[in-house]
Structure 1
Amino acid sequence: MLVKFKKAVPIIEKIEKAGFEAYFVGGSVRDYLLNKPIEDVDIATSAFPDEVKQIFPKTIDVGIEHGTVIVVYEGENYEITTFRTEDQYVDFRRPKEVTFIRSLKEDLQRRDFTMNAIAMTKDGELIDPFDGQQDIKNQIIRTVGEPEERFKEDALRMMRGVRFVSQLSFYLEKNTYSAIERLAPLLQHISVERIYMEFMKLLKGKNCSKALDLIAESNLYEFLPGFSEYREQLKKATTYISNRNLNEVEVWALLLILFQNESIEELLRKWKMPVKLIRKIKQIIQAYKNRQNESWSNESIYLTGLDIAIHTEKVFCAINNKEADTSVKKIRQTFVGLPIKNRDELAVNGNDLMKWSDKRGGPWVREALEKIELAVIRGEVMNDKEQIKEWYST
């Protein structure tokens, strides 16, 4: 058993000693079976929240109305959630009422996919009432029970299913996929923030291209903010992204380049995307337009910045079916060889220019510094105060 689980075993033992059941559940068990890294372990128990709080001296109420209590043990936080069933769902996203129960099987039965409905004892014994292990072995994403019921309970589960295709390179089981096709319109009941979080995780997956293709084919794209007009562009993007190892920012830039939407910021704001990320994507798209017209030079790499230049080149190579490693390496080497990396490294400043010119400050100072900056980058003058003074005075 992995260290993450072993460190949490004493918590399960304390709960059991108090007369209750407790198991490892959810994504940590799934990832353990897939030999993937485990970030956090989740524990489910037959003990009700108040009973959990009586067992442990230090706890934090984070979602106690849903049965979740954080237990602080040896400096680490562990989420302990009571077995529960969920009543009728409201707006296809949240249960009207949560009922705490003592049955593990009933708790597992409410979960989204069979691979996430496996429990594990402190000794490593697996409890798998819905054949999640077999689905993991067969690389299949299947809902627990009827897919229509699961997706009507929480429509975001459709996006989660497609996200797992991207992350795990699994396949959606036939009935599960068919239900997504039929129920895609329910996604409009889900908050943009929740959709955005799933979509970003999807873009980080190694099989992102397949997942985006599923979004286009299943009509989920119609209910993603600003995507409804771009089915063909979305499908085209999958051919560019495949086997390209683009990160989520680069995929966003590539999508928007293909969409040819003039209101980039307006579209991205519909996603409630952070302003900083919007700005970065816009910078990549602008740099891409410049890259279409000319190859990289010392000047363009300097003005663009190393980070944006590399993102841009990877997107450019993906769209133009070119190998990116060599050109990215060349950009890095060029940047390393630049005489300055930013204006702060310039050997002169505005005070120097005003002193040399015996003039007051004004817009001319900024313009003059930009002129000197580019001259240094182009190799027209060394980044040396006296040499710049001589060059500037002539």
Structure 2
Amino acid sequence: MLLVSAPILGVPEKAALSQVIDSGWLTMGDRVREFEQAFASMHGARDCVAVGSCTAALHLLLHALGIGPGDEVLVPSLTFVATANAVLYVGATPVFVDIESVDVPLISVAEAEARCTTRTKAVILVHFAGYLPDREQWQRFARLRGLHIIEDAAHAPGLREVGTFGAAAAFSFYGNKNMTTAEGGAVIARDPDLLDRVRLARGHGMTTGTHQRLNSRTPQYDVTMLGFNYRMDEMRAAIGLVQLQNLQEWNEIRRIIAVLYRRLIADRCPAIVIPFSEPRTSAYHIMPIVLPRYASRQDVIDELRTQGIQTTIHYPPVHQMTFYRERFPGVSLPQTEDFAERELTIPLHPQITSAAAESVVAALAAALKTGALKAGAQRGTAA
């Protein structure tokens, strides 16, 4: 099966894990700190905080910014559910905002303006598929309203622009991301006080960690806030240090494959829309396409699967999921819903060859041809 995403793991990662096991120190030690410094340096930041997941990163950021009950946070519905969940974790209310268009499936500034109230305290910008929104536009929007900008950068590691939009950025190192630590995440914040609050809350609000106390004169510590258990362990940090060395090269390979896909699809499947037709900065995390209205997405999925090609969907809209639909009834986001009904994600990762990309597009073309014939037959029967 040609997978939508696939981690690249090998001998260097195994060696790094063995070194951690041989050291006898498994959590929150020198490797976590080294990984934090290396990841921050790649993004032009002074420091960062490594955590257990991107969900944890988002929760910690909202908590550290003092967002809570009675507050509202603008979020896209075209995202993984964790983006909205984190808002609920702090007792605030997620306010779902439509995307710009099928071509630009990023949260819309105009729609965000329409949904702002006196209770709005922040906006979470999701860098969908690895593509960045207009930074200056969003900074003007937030500055005029006194809002915090939080970047959900799960799809965009390795871009130096990430973490410069506003208060902070949250990253994911899940197994299907551009680089992985299996589970894991990180926070980049330019304000050192904000980063300190995140770091403190990561480990139960404790003033020192176990590794720090090992190397100090006293085992005493204090707890100065209500915190969480969102630490990263040494094994994940060790994998991350190896992966980080390859991230820029892997992102470049993703870019090359994405360019090839665009050329092949334009030639063989012109009815398919590929979002982000205008150039913009990206980490090329996934390859979303939008099928023509006459095509049955399930038929296309089934046809590609018979050819040994996995596909998936990014994303079922959060506002239409049972949990959120019951709590926030009546939400209508036409652009998001149209995009989500026709979006299909095809394989994109550094192990994709040009021949594999050509086979994916050939299978797409065949599936669409079958779909067009079916649609024509149905129209003829109806006539």
TM-score under structure 2 length normalisation: 0.24
Higher helix share: 1
Structure with bigger RCO (C-alpha 8 Å, 6+ apart): 2
TM-score under structure 1 length normalisation: 0.24
Quick check: which has more Rg, 1 or 2? 1
